[in-house]
Structure formats: structure tokens, C-alpha cells
Structure 1
Amino acid sequence: MVSLGIYLYLAPSLPDAEQLKDVDLQTPLRVYTEDGLLISEFGEKRRSPISFDEVPQQFIDALLASEDDAYFQHIGVDFKGLARAALELIRTGRKKSGGSTITMQVAKNYYLSSEKTFKRKFTEILLALKIEKALSKQEILELYVNKIYLGKRAYGIQAAARVYYGKTIDQLTLAQLAMIAGLPQAPSAANPINSPERAIERRNYVLARMRTLDKITDEQFQTAAREPISARYHGPTSEVSAPYVAEMVRRDMIERFGSEAYTAGYKVFTTVDAARQQAANLALQRGLLSYDRDHGWRTTNDNRSVIPSEPLSLAHQDPVLQEWLAKADPQQDIDWPQTLEQWRSTLNRRPDNGVLKPAMVTAVHNNGAWILLKDSEYWLPFSRIEWAKRYVNVNVIGDPIKAAGDVLSRGQEIWVEQLGDGYRLAQFPEVEGSLVSLRPRDGAIQALIGGFSASSNEFNRAIQADRQPGSSFKPFIYSAALANGFTPASIINDAPVVFEDASLESTWRPQNNSGKFYGPTRLRQALYKSQNLVSIRILKQMGAGKAINFIEPFGFPREKLSRDLSLALGASAVTPMELATGYAVLANGGYAVKPYLIQRIEDDNNNVLYQANPAIACSDCDRNDNNDNNNDLDAQQALEQQLRDSLGLTNEEQPAEQPKTPLAPQVMDSRTHFLMMSMLQDVVKRGTGRRALVLKRNDLAGKTGTTNDQKDGWFSGFSPDLVTTVWVGFDQHVTLGRWAYGSNTALPIWVDYMKEALKDVPQRPYQQPEGVVSVRIDAETGLLAAPGQSNAIFEYFREENVPQQPVKSAPAFGDDSPDSDAELIPEQMF
């Protein structure tokens, strides 16, 4: 009667066990590359749900041996176990075991609190009986292994396998499976990281139970019981390092879903290409380290020492040992076991930073040093130390060092740069940088880095740092000029000029970096030689307002663009992302695309919640705005087919039921684009971007940039398939040094990245559009070449802008020809 009364009292409040079939487990937010590699995960609970069929049989045997060996025989409640627990409580006054079955634990974990009351226990029993009627044994066990807490933020056996062993559950040994199977009893206090002794005792108990139940052989038991503990903490496994990308996605997801973003198991697939992101990581870090080496060795906190442990105490009573200790050399005779343990503990507290690895100096010789890394000891030859001349200031370094001991000492904490065949002495650079790489046809972000290390500074310079772009902004001024009647052969006087302009607040005397003036200069020459006075004069002729109206649609916020002549020299601060967006227009044929990072969002059941549908740059698509065509279904389908054909997509890759693909607006006509692109190719072929020639491609174009006092170094360049912007500078807006320019700071990083990013991409030279012709002109005047003129050059023009007047005489140029490379100088803002 008592049982009946309890049932009648509790039954109305029991939840529906059928709901467990549709239960949503709290799983973290995961961020992936476009090709499905994990970038990062966010959330308090680490969980990776798996199906019953994915659980190894040996783990099921271990779990049941540990928790509920009669699981497949009882009806959800082990009445004998409950009776035993009750008698134990009555006899001792203490509850040693709860008699809970796995089904009862599922009831508690999914529906009930952890309070220890009789009401909760009776509710747990009744719920277990309902669950057994609603679900199969396999379904219940699947719920259990995915919900149970196993320590170190790991919920479920798959997460535990990754946290403790860095593997999936099906890759574990018998001993490791038994270790995890023993964790539910005391996951925090007896896990193999917090308490190895208790964990191994519990593991061996599980193994012994398996042997008793004939689930393993005696040989298997003996082997597994002797296996040493191999568990250590494994943080969230990242297959691709892109911390700035991960943070951008996290913020976006919080805006979309609130705190649910951390627990609902959302999967975000970004546009990032894994191989390109990895290439960008290496290129940027190695480029910044190269700059850092060129400016000498700084004494910083990174160079602190961990003093080696002394030999055995001098107070030792053994007279023989006392005599030895009195003669011991404290520089050599140290307590090595204790010292190595201390050094390894220090190293384990310091995370890797990309190509930089923490190390301890263990011994120093004239010709090199022995260093200890987390995994082993390595020899660091003097040839990889000798760069470390003393840093004096940004323009001065000290005398050459003569031995490794000039900079290193035993016990010193250092950084080393990982190379293909070993390591090189390094230091954490103070200089910063960023890289943004976009797919110009639609603005998809292929790679993004906001600084040398997100672990040391989360400030994302790619999207948050407004910096003056210097001469790398000039292509937009020149594009506006070409759209407003100028030609690549237009002659502009590169001569001194003084501006009395109220908007500039003072008299302005701009000049070229060399201090020289080159007189009448063709527009093409002025761009690849980066002559400042020409840029200023063409902007003055156009007017800043007209130039801004042309440039703004490229993706630059209007409020950031200066409305005075300093606009011509890149004095308007923009972010690397904004500059890359502008260059995407130059790369894709003249179409404004918007950068985007999230390709699609899926829920925990792989349902697509969001799918990006970016506007596409398509020069071959029909953009007829005629109302009849817009309303005609056949015309729309034809337009879609043109777009698919232009992108090389099959009909299957873009099903008919998907949203129509929008077309990016054209903000530069094809003829202006071709002229501008050909001028930017000359920057690479014969101007300040010539370092890019090492890539041996004929479809590259771009522009360097260096701001006043060398505070910023830039290179933005592109092929038809990829546009990339690199920035280098100090966060404090101080000079990079008198010899630092975009061409030797940012451009080498760009080259190293593009070498890998375009490795398997075929060359695609830009096609000359209709209405553009090539004619022979006189290089000095820009007029038509005289018949038979031997030093004439070819230039592109719109048909209507071809010079009509021939040159009156044909001068013969020597090394000082306007097309000579002899006068090339680094570019500078002013």
C-alpha cells in the first residue's frame, strides 16, 4: 500500500520519457574551414555525441562491469541492489552505494537534480521504469554515454577520449577504455590528471571486474593492468590555426543566437581555405621575425633565467660527499634531475606561438648551445645565433657577437623559430602585421590574420586597425583619373609645388622620397615609380569630390576619405580589410563585392540554418535592366546559366530550388579596369613590386605603400583568382626605421603567401576588352610615334582617346629614358 501511495502521489508529475528520443544535448559551438577542418570550439561543456553503433564493444563491457553488470537483464531498476543499499544505510548510518542502474542515472541526468532525498530517489525509480518502456536498451545506453560528466569539462565518452588522450574513443587501448569507464564514480577527484594514483586503482578495478565476468582474458588483464598512465590534458583540438577568424565567428554567432550559441551545437562553416590559412600563418610570422632579426637582440622578460638547482646540500653528513661537494663546480655539477623537472615545468606553462617554440638553454659553448624543448634536446649552432647583435634603436644595431655566450647562458628561457631542419634563436617580435586574402569573384575570406599572436594580443588589426595606406591607395586615384579622361600616356609634370589650401591648415610642400623631381612624366611611369607630385596634380585637376564619388563604391566608407589633396597620397586611414576589398574590384574586372566569412550554419542535426548567397562578379552575365527581361522567366534562367558557365559550375552544383544568385554591381567599366590593371602589372614587372617576379606568373599586379616616417608598410596585390593585402607596422605608430618600406617589409610576406596560395591555380591573363587598342607612342611626349622611330613604345588607349598628333621629332633615349629602371626609388607618402 505504501508503494501504491507513493506511485499515485508522484506519477502525475513524471515527465514524458518519449521526450528523450528528441533530447538536445548541450554541445559547444564549432567553427570549421570551408573544407571541413576544425578551427576552434567555444562553450563550457566539451561534448561530441556519438551513436550506439560507434561505441566500442570493449567500452560497453568495461562500463557495464563498472556500473551495472545486469543492465541487459533488469527492467530499469535493480531491486536487489536497492535493497542492499538500504540495509547498508540502516546498519551503518551511511550510504555507501546508491544502487542506481544506468537507466536510473539517465533519469537523474536528464530530468532530476542531484539532491539526495528519498522523494528524488523514488521519482528516479519511477522514471527509470517509464524510460525502459519507451526506449530500447541501446537507446538508453547511447543517452548515458553522451550525457555523463567525466571530468575536465568533458561530457560524454567521446569528449573524454579527446580530453585525456587526444584521440577518438575507437582509437583507445583496453586500459584507456577502462580508465574512462571508471570515471563516472568520481570524475573530478579521481581522473588520471588530478589524481593518477586513484585513477589507476579505479581502472584496475574495472579491468578485474571485466576479467571476473569473462569479458577479457587473463593475458589481456595482465597487460592492461601494467600499462602506465598516458593521459594528459588535451585542449580543444584545432586542425587549422585561425584564432582571429574564430573570434569573428564567435561574435557573429552571439549576435544571432545569444548565449544559446555556446550550447546548441551549432556548426559554422567559414569561407576560409585551410591550406591558404596555414600558408598565411607561416608567411606573416616568418616575415615579422625576419624584420625583428634585422633590428637586433633586445633584453626583455623573455630572456629571464630559471636558475639551475644546486648540487646536494653542503650540510650532508657523509665526509666523502662533503669533500666532493667542496670541489664541485657550481657551473657544471648541478642536480640535473631536479633541474630538468623544473625546466620542463617552466616550458609546459608557456604555449607555442606558431613557429615560435619556448626553450631552455641547458649548456653554452663558443660554437653554439644545447637547448631543451618540450619534446627533446637540440643543438643550436652559432650560425643560427650570430644574428643577435645588440639592439640600439630602430636604425642602429651593435657590433657582431663572437660566441654563443655573448647572448645566451645556462638556464635562460628563450624562444626559437622552428625551421625545416632545426631551430634558430628568436625573440617575440614587437612589430605587428596583418594579412587579408579574399576571393575577388564574391568576397569570400580565404585567409585572415590580425596579428603575430592572438594569445598575446587579441586586437584584430585586419578589421580594427585604421592605418594610412600610403602609396597603396594611389591605384584608386589613378582609376578615377582614367575614368575621367586621363590615359596611361597622359603627361603630368613632376615638379615642385606649394599649396596654400585652407583645408590643409598650413602651407604644404609635398615631395618625392628621393627629394628629386622628374619633370614631365607619363601616368604609367608615375604609378610604377610611385611619384607623389603626379598623384597630387591629377587629383587637383579632377577635384577631391569627384574622386571620392568614384572611389567610395569600391568599399571605402565615405567618412574615412579625406576631402583634400592628401587623399592622393593615402593619408585617409583604412583597415587592411577595407583596402583588400577595394583591390578586389581591381582584381575581378570592376565589380564591388562585399567580404564575407560565414558560408553556412548548421544545427546539431546538420540542418542548414543559414546559407550565404553573396553577389558574384560576372563580366559575362547579361545585365540588361529592361523591364521585359527582368520579368521574363526564360531571361532569368538564361542569366543564371550564364553565371554558372562563367564560374565553371555545373547545374548540379547550383540546384534550381536555391535562391537566385545576385550579381555584384559594376563600379568600373571594363576598359578603365583593363588600363588600370595593365599599369599595376608594370608595378610588379618594373616598379616597386618587382620582388613578386620570383613567382614567375604573368597575371599578377599590385602596389606597395609606405607612409610618412615609415610608420606603415603595405603591399596589396592580386591575380584574377585571389587578392591579398599585407600590412606591417607598430601599434604605437612609431617608425619602422629609415630603411623600411612596403617593398621590403610587406611585399616579402605577400610573396611567400601567394607562392603557396596560387601553387595549383593556373595562370589567367586578363583579356583586352573591345574598345581598347594598342598603339606606338613616343615615350617622352605620349604622342604618336614618328614613322620608323626605333625607341617607340606600345601603350593602351580607349579608341576615342588615341593621340591624334604625331611627335615632331624622335629623340633617342639612353639610360635616362623615362622607361629606364635606373630612377626607381622606394615609395613614400610625403
Structure 2
Amino acid sequence: MNTFFSKIAKLFKLFMEKFGNRFRRFWKRYQITRWIILILASIFLILSGYFTYKAKTADIGVLKLQLKESTRVIDSEGNEAGKLYSQKGTFVELNEISPNIQNAVTSTEDKTFWTNSGFSILGYARAAAGLVLHGRIIGGGSTITQQLVKNSLLSQKQTFLRKAAEFFMAVEVNKTYSKKDIMTMYLNNAYFGNGVWGVEDASMKYFGVHASQLDYSQSAVIAAMLRSPSYYNPIDHPDNAISRRNLVLGLMFNNKKLTKEQALQAKNEKLNLKDRYQVSNSYKYPYYYDAIIDEAINKYGLKEEDILSKGYKIYTSLNQDYQTQMQNTFDKSWLFTTSAADGTTPQAASVAINPQSGGVAAIVGGIGDHVFRGLNRATQIKRQPGSAIKPLAVYTPAIESGYRYDSLLPNQLKSYGKNNYRPSNSNGRYSETIPMYKALSESDNVPAVALLNKIGVKKGVNSVENFGINVDKSDQNLALALGGLQTGVSPLQMAQAYTAFANDGKLATAHFINKIVDADGKVIVDNNQTNKQVISSRTAKTMTSMMLGVFNNGTGYTAKPADYTIAGKTGDTEVPSSYGFGTKDQWVIGYTPDVVVASWMGYDKTDENHFMKTAAYQTLAPVFKDEMENMLPYSNETDFDEEDAATMYANKKDTKSGSGNWIDDLQDNFNSVKDNATQWYNSAKNFFG
């Protein structure tokens, strides 16, 4: 047996000798060592070039400005309306920061800070050892400059590539700024627990003093939190804070920043906490600010972290008076009393747009507590618009096709179209005919469907899409007249569509941002949108004339703001008949020459237990009325040039009956023939095409 294993060993040894000889000859012949060195050197040069480029293009030259300035929101009048901020506290210069905290930080975090080149060879050696021993970089050893880079320019991930980027950027920061500037930026950008950023706010939060007033003990407590803000903050963990404070004071003594007596005296002091920190309320228009961030990201390709932290100036269309009044309305709980059996209340949203510019002046995206960049129902929901679509899908294309405001429309129960679509009026009232203006103001369904059937569904679809609302192929049928859109619309889309009526037929593109300027004064976004003429001025005026009646004596009567004249339309979408009577979506859209406001109400998820057992004129109308009564006093209060169609019709009848004028009779007969000819033409066109 031993002989067998010894033979195997000899054969293996012989094989390894031959293999080793061949391998050495191969290695020497092809100069493998040189190739490995060349490849490693190339990789090093490529990575060095990449990270050097990244450091040179990282906006390091404006880093202090970015850290010093919060992103500011500018309203439509050029006034500051608040700030967007992330990791921003009250910025103070170095001469406003006690030397005690500076000494505590350098003694703890970076003893060679004032003399090093921005990086620590020893720190990188520790990181490499961690990578070899533990398979990951475990951190530690970064200089103050490196920590500043990590906190302000990079992520917190502990990876080799991040550490490499940190090295090159730290070198660039050290070349660009003085040590005093670096210390200033670091102390203003550090996190100190309890939602507090920066040494000034930390001083106020924990000790009720300014950063310039910190003594030895207080400075050591604040410096201690740099290691772990949650574990060492003195409010939640006073024992941990004292223990770490005493360690910091010892390091300050070792670093010759304190005498032995000063260190001992500071160690014996009690914490004496006092909170005088006041949280900024600069995010006071939360849904508007959320919409700004969303538009900057989705439309202009900016990153959220850049928007929040780079000190931009964002010029917007915000009207602070409108926004405040709209928010005040949504804070009135007594206006939102409808609730389901389980106590759940429906949600609501409103948006106001300047019809001349398309700028969004105010927006509220929900009732209750706001969640940062959560669901904004004014911009993000897609709901069926109900009868609010009628002016877009039916009456506008009819007017454009030659119908008049007082053209008579069918108003009897009847089936229409190839699919025998059979609409009914929600008020249960019918007649042989009804004038168009009255059919619109009372929101009767039968004449709307009959009219769409006459002019053709294709014409209605084209009209809706002309107003900026896409109509899916599955929705291109007579149900379009009643808002049967499966994909739905948002309040913002509806408000944008109605700008054409308030702006002489020109459709404005809704937007929040007009311009964005970076911390260095460079314009990085410039919104130069123009309006589009989608209907004639005459059609817009005729539509406004008819829609004035909605609020004067129609379905919007209960939503009409006192002492103001507005035009617009209401809408409801019904729940399945198996639920009983009720609505799942309620709409009120109203406008003056100065502002268009679209409001919506409904449950986020409609089911047999969550729907409104009311119509818009009962539930949403008081909300709309309240916000309009409080917003319109801040508008230009421009009067309409148009007269209510009902008044026009009444005056026409009075004039006719009082004068017996044969010319008026002839004109009416001519218009009647014209209407009949138009209807015949549209019917023939639909039949053949």
C-alpha cells in the first residue's frame, strides 16, 4: 500500500516539475509580469482620469454657495415664497462659531486637519485592511475634508468606488478652498440628531445658545454626536453623551487644546440642556412645492437631491394669496362632512391657473396630513369627468360647426347610434326640444348625446384632444358626451382645457416653473411656452355666454361665489346601480377672465361602501364656493364682456314681441334653415363616413 502511494507522489511531483518548467518558460517567453503591470497601470490611469474628471465637474467651485443657500421659491410677483431644503440648517460663518467646537472637532475627527492635503493615507490603509479581512469597507479614518465631500457630494455607501471618488474630490476641495472655508462648510453641513443640521441649530437645540457661545463641555457634547448622532445625542441618551463628551475632552487635552484643569472642570459639569430651536416653516405651501419638484424632475431632468440642496432660485407662477386662501378652505373640516359607514371621508383637490399664461397659481392635492411628494390628487389622479366634459366634447364642436347658442336640441328619451345608446336626464324632466344654452346649464344628458350623434363622435373626439386631453380608442363612442373616459383626467388637465374659454380661444399650457437659476447665477431652466389657438374667439365667447348660466341658474347655482360672476361647468359620475343612488366623482370647474379653478371630490378607492350619496351641487359646491369667495378678492376682478345666454335669449324675445319686426322674423327663419341644413349635413357625413 505504501509503495502505491509513494509511486503516486513521485508521479505528481514529476508532473508538477514539468508543468512548473513549462509555466515558467511560458511566463518568461510572453512577459506576463510586464503585461500584468501594464494592465494594472492602465486600469489605474483610466480610473484616475475618470475620478479626476468627476472631481473637476462636480460643481466644487460653488459648493459653499450651495451649502449656504437653500433652494428658494419665488412667486409670480418676484417675492420669496419659501424654501426647499435638505440637510440645511442655519448657516453661520467661522467667526460665528466658537473656537472650542473647532478644537473639539479637530481633536476627535482629524488631528492633522490644518496641515493635511485633504486625505489620510492611514485612513485608506484601514479601509483596505477592512476590505481584505471582512470583505467590505468598514469606514473610519476619513479626514474632515473627506467627510464634507461624502456628506455634500456623494452617497453614504461604503464602496471602493465611492472611497476613490471621495479621495479625488477631497483633493480638489482642498485646492479650491481655504481650511477655514472647509471647516465652515463641514460644521454647517453635519447632522446632529433630532432632525437638526448644522452647528448653529444644534447649539440652539441642545443648549439654547448660539454656536459662538459654546463652552468646553457643550462643544465636546456636540462634537461627540458626529460619531453617532442618534446614540450620543444628550436628549435621548444623556449617559452616552456624557461618556463620549469626557472622551472628547480627554482628546482635546492630549491635543493641547485644553489644560488639565480645564478638561477636569468641563468633565464635572452637568449637561444643562435647553431647547430654543425653532423649526423653519418655509415649506408652507406643501402641495405646490411638491409639484415644483415633480415638474423639475419629470420635465427638466433635474435630480431631487440637487433641487433640494444646491441653492437654486426657482421662479414660479405661485400666487401666495390664492394659495393661502385655497389652503384655508381645505383646513375647514366642517366643509367636508360626508363620510362612509366606517368614518372614512372622501378626498378632494383643487387647482387654480392663470388662463393667459398657463401658470399654476395655487394647488391643494388632498385633505389631511401632507406627505412629502406623496399623492397629489390635483395633478396625479385620473378620474372620469362626467358632465364637465360636455363643453369640450359636444357644445364647442357644435358651435364650431354652425350651431347657435339657442339652437333647439332633442330632449326626449330615445336610443342613439349603432349601439342604441339610451341616455337619460338626471332630473327626470324631458321635452320635445330644448335650447342649447339651457341644455348645457341644466346639464341634461339626452340633448348632449343627441347633439354628439348629429355632429359625429369623431368631431367630438378631435375637439377633446384639441383641448389637450387624449381620448383612448375604446372611449370613442357616444358615452364621450357624458364623460365616459376610462383613462380619466386630472383636475389640472381640466383646468388647462378651460383656459381656452377664458382666453379668447387660446389654450395655455399648465406649468409651475418659469425659470430656474443656480447658486452661481446661471439660468439652467427657462420656460418659454406659448399659447395655442384651439378654437375661434367667437366660439370661446359663445361658450362662455352659455356657461355663465351654469352658475346663474343651473347646476352650479349652489357653488356660485357671492357678488361674483363666473362661468364653468359641474359634473358627476354615478356609481353602479347596485350600490344605490350616489356618485364616485364630483367636479366643479369655474372661471373668470383672471383665473380658472377646477375642483374634484371623491374616494381614492370607490366601492359599495365608499361613495358619496350626494351630487356635486350638494357636497363639492360649498367647498368651491368658499375657496372662490376668498380667492377672487385677490384677483384683478376683470368683468366678462359676454352676457348670460339666457338673458340674451330673453332680451331677444322681448325685442321681437315688442317690435313685431319682420326683419327679426326673417333672421330667425334663416337661422332655423341654417341649423337644419347643418344638422342634415352632419348626419349625411356620419352616415357615409
TM interval, shorter chain, is 0.5 to 0.7
Matched, 1:728 2:601: yes
TM normalised by structure 1 equals: 0.55
* Equivalent residue number for residue 711 of structure 1: 584
Q: Distance in 2 between the 1:189 and 1:531 partners?
A: 67
Q: Distance in 2 between matches of 1:190 and 1:170?
A: 19
**How far apart are the structure 1 equivalents of 2:645 and 2:553?**
22
* Structure-2 change in CA distance of 1:152 and 1:802 (3 Å): farther
User: Is 1:36 equivalent to 2:80 in the alignment?
Assistant: yes
One-letter identity of the residue aligned with 1:76 = W
Matches within 5 A, 1:249-260: 249=295, 251-252=297-298, 255-257=301-303
Choose 141-150 or 537-546, whichever is displaced more. 141-150
* Secondary structure in structure 2 of the residue aligned to 1:547: helix
Q: What SS class does the counterpart of residue 695 from structure 1 fall into?
A: coil
Instruction: State the Cα distance separating 1:232 from its structure 2 match.
Output: 8.6
CA change 1:452–1:692 in 2 (3 A) is: closer
Alignment counterpart, residue 114 of structure 2, candidates 76, 87, 105: 76
1:172 CA drift (Å): 9.0
Q: Compute the displacement of 1:518 (Å).
A: 2.9
Q: What's the counterpart of residue 283 of structure 1?
A: 329
Does residue 189 (structure 1) correspond to residue 231 (structure 2)? The answer is yes
Matched, 1:488 2:533: no
Task: State the Cα distance separating 1:47 from its structure 2 match.
Answer: 3.6
**1:19-58 alignment runs, 5 A limit:** 22=61, 24=63, 30=71, 32=73, 34=75, 35-38=79-82, 40-41=84-85, 46-48=87-89, 50=91, 52=93, 55=94, 57=96
Q: 2:481 aligns with which of 539, 556, 568?
A: 568
Q: Aligned AA for 1:676?
A: M
Deviations 1:522-577 (A, max 9, x none): 21112111122221222222112223333322111143783322222222232222
CA–CA separation in structure 1 for the residues paired with 2:556 and 2:147: 63
Specify the alignment match of 1:145 in structure 2. 187
8 Å CA contact retained: 2:113, 2:143: no
Q: Distance in 2 between matches of 1:725 and 1:61?
A: 57
Structure 1 distance, partners of 2:292, 2:519, is 19
SS of residue in 2 equivalent to 1:440? coil
Which of 408, 420, 424 is the equivalent residue of 1:511? 424
TM-superposed deviation, 1:194 = 4.0
Q: Does 1:764 align with 2:679?
A: no
Query: Following the alignment from structure 1 to structure 2, what is the Cα–Cα distance between the partners of residues 560 and 574?
Result: 15
The 5 Å alignment of 1:159-308 reads 160=202, 164=205, 180=222, 183-184=225-226, 187-199=229-241, 227-230=272-275, 238-242=283-287, 244-245=290-291, 248-249=294-295, 251-252=297-298, 255-257=301-303, 268-284=314-330, 286=332, 290-291=335-336, 293-295=337-339, 298=342
SS in structure 2 opposite 1:671? Answer: helix
1:585 pairs, out of 486, 491, 500, with 500
Change (3 A) 1:64 1:721: same
Residues 172 and 274 of structure 1, relative CA distance in 2, 3 Å threshold: farther
Distance 1:673 1:715 in 2: 19
Hey, what's the Cα distance between the residues in 2 that align with 1:763 and 1:227?
58
Residue pairs, 1:593-632, within 5 angstroms:
593-615=508-530
Shift of 1:583: 0.9
Q: Secondary structure at the match of 2:641?
A: coil
Aligned residue runs from structure 1 range 387-402, under 5 A: none
**SS of the residue 1:744 aligns to:** coil
The answer to whether the 8 A contact 2:207-2:272 is kept is no
Structure-1 residue corresponding to 2:656 = 785
Distance 1:566 1:738, change over 3 A: same
Find the residue that maps to 1:803 and give its secondary structure.
Answer: helix
2:556 paired with 1:556: no
Letter in 2 for 1:547: G
What is the distance in 2 between the residues matched to 1:688 and 1:171? 65
2:563 aligned with 1:696, yes or no? yes
CA offset digits 1:441-473 (Å, max 9, x no partner): 122122333333554994443334332211111
Q: Is this contact kept in 2: 1:717–1:723, CA < 8 A?
A: yes
Kindly state the Cα deviation for residue 259 of structure 1 after the two structures are TM-superposed.
Answer: 7.2
Query: Is the strand fraction higher in 1 or 2?
Result: 1
Change (3 A) 1:555 1:168: farther
| Contact 2:568-2:589 at 8 Å conserved across structures | yes
Relative to structure 1, is the Cα distance of residues 250 and 533 closer, same or farther in structure 2, using a 3 angstrom cutoff? same
Q: Which residue among 668, 672, 676 is the counterpart of 1:803?
A: 668
Q: Which residue of the partner structure matches residue 452 of structure 1? A: 367
Q: Tell me if 1:523 matches 2:419.
A: no
- 1:136, CA displacement in angstroms? 5.3
Give the distance between the partners of 1:135 and 1:38, measured in 2 at CA. 30
TM-score of the superposition, structure 2-length normalised?
A: 0.65
For the Cα contact (< 8 Å) 1:470–1:570, is it kept in 2? yes
Alignment partner of 1:754 out of 628, 642, 652: 628
User: Retained in 1: the 8 A contact 2:201–2:277?
Assistant: no
What displacement does 1:191 show? 1.9
Q: CA deviation at 1:760?
A: 1.9
Amino acid at match of 1:515: G
1:471 lines up with 2:391 in the alignment: no
* C-alpha distance in 2 between matches for 1:297 and 1:201: 55
After TM superposition, the structure 1 = structure 2 runs for residues 417-436 of structure 1, keeping only pairs within 5 Å, are 429-436=344-351
Cα displacement (A) at 1:64: 4.0
Q: Distance between the aligned counterparts of 1:67 and 1:551, measured in 2? A: 64
The answer to whether the Cα contact below 8 Å between 1:39 and 1:246 also exists between their aligned partners in 2 is no
Describe the SS at the equivalent of 1:482: helix
SS at match of 2:619: helix
Shift in alpha-carbon separation, 1:279–1:177, aligned structure 2, 3 A: farther
Structure 1's 705 and 612: CA in aligned 2 closer, same or farther, altered over 3 A? same
* 1:461 paired residue number: 377
Kindly indicate whether the alpha-carbon contact (under 8 Å) linking 1:36 and 1:269 is maintained by their aligned counterparts in 2: no
Structure 1 distance, partners of 2:568, 2:218, is 55
1:231–1:177 CA distance, 2 compared to 1 (3 A)? farther
Where do 1:69-148 residues align within 5 Å? 76=114, 105-107=143-145, 109=147, 138-148=180-190
For 1:518 and 1:756, the matched residues in 2 are separated by 39
Count of residues paired in the alignment: 554
Greater CA drift, 248-257 or 666-675: 248-257
C-alpha separation in 1, matches of 2:569 and 2:386? 10
More helix by share: 2
Distance 1:803 1:553 in 2: 32
- Structure 2 unaligned regions, length at least 5: 1-47, 117-141, 151-155, 260-265, 576-582, 673-689
Identity within the alignment, %: 23
In structure 2, the CA distance between the partners of 1:294 and 1:22, relative to structure 1 (3 Å rule), is: closer
Relative distance call for 1:559 and 1:134 in structure 2 (3 A) is: closer
Question: Secondary structure of the equivalent of 1:488?
Answer: coil
* Equivalent residue letter for 1:494: N
Paired residues of 1:40 and 1:236 also in contact (CA < 8 A): no
Deviation, 1:199, is 3.7
Q: Alpha-carbon deviation of 1:741?
A: 1.0
Deviation at 1:23?
A: 6.5
Letter in 2 for 1:610: V
Q: Distance in 1 between matches of 2:361 and 2:474?
A: 27
Q: CA deviation at 1:775?
A: 9.9
The aligned counterpart of 2:32 is none
